[in-house]
Structure 1
């Protein structure tokens, strides 16, 4: 199959940006089986319950749901198996140092194809408190109201 130029988004974890303060992001490759790649090419994946962990100097992705390939045979994969992430040694050491702090975790943000290869964007993130979430919603709503008011004034409509 010819390589597709650019970036094709497969799945995105919108809930992660709502539940966590994102500190750093990293792009990592994935070690996948053939049926997993075929399932991803159909655009089927769910990152909502996903998280990553460092075991013996390697980063592993847990809880990401890639459904079984419909035309797969006995070679089909398990939907929620743990998958190895491909990162440089220095990146892994940096992530390990950050995750050792209390309240910091590694969460997947998006899964996509970049030049024909499956990649995942993972983030070193700190959990938000309930008041942080409410404050973020209030800020978003306030900026939206300001933008609509500016638009109304530009168009000459009464406020």
Structure 2
């Protein structure tokens, strides 16, 4: 055996090892991304349910009631829509968390999973129609924010006016 044969074998083994690692990583990355997105959706679902609980507490306590709620939106976008009295969060993902086109109810929270050309659009939404008149300062919330939930006005026979703003 020649001296160079050992080095050639070592280089070949290292090359084969690198190729195997690349194949394993490229096959597992979509699974890792899917698991990460499912985790983000689950955490955001919990945050939305807590936000709903705070809003309903402020509604129940009457005019002048106020709560500060810390929210962190790492991925996706949180929208407060005062035109249709709703709060929604959306994320584009490859994770199919529910059957495409179906709505899943978690108490007052609805999860909608829409099929897109590439992947899915997952939307979590809270509706306050016939419950409250939502007034907001910012339409879109991203990142870390302290939301002030304030019962601006409660009159018998009328929907309470709930103002949501960033601190």
Superposition TM-score, scaled by structure 1 size: 0.24
Q: Which has the higher strand share?
A: 2
Point out the structure with max Rg over C-alpha. 2
Bigger relative contact order, structure 1 or 2 (CA pairs below 8 A, ≥6 apart): 1
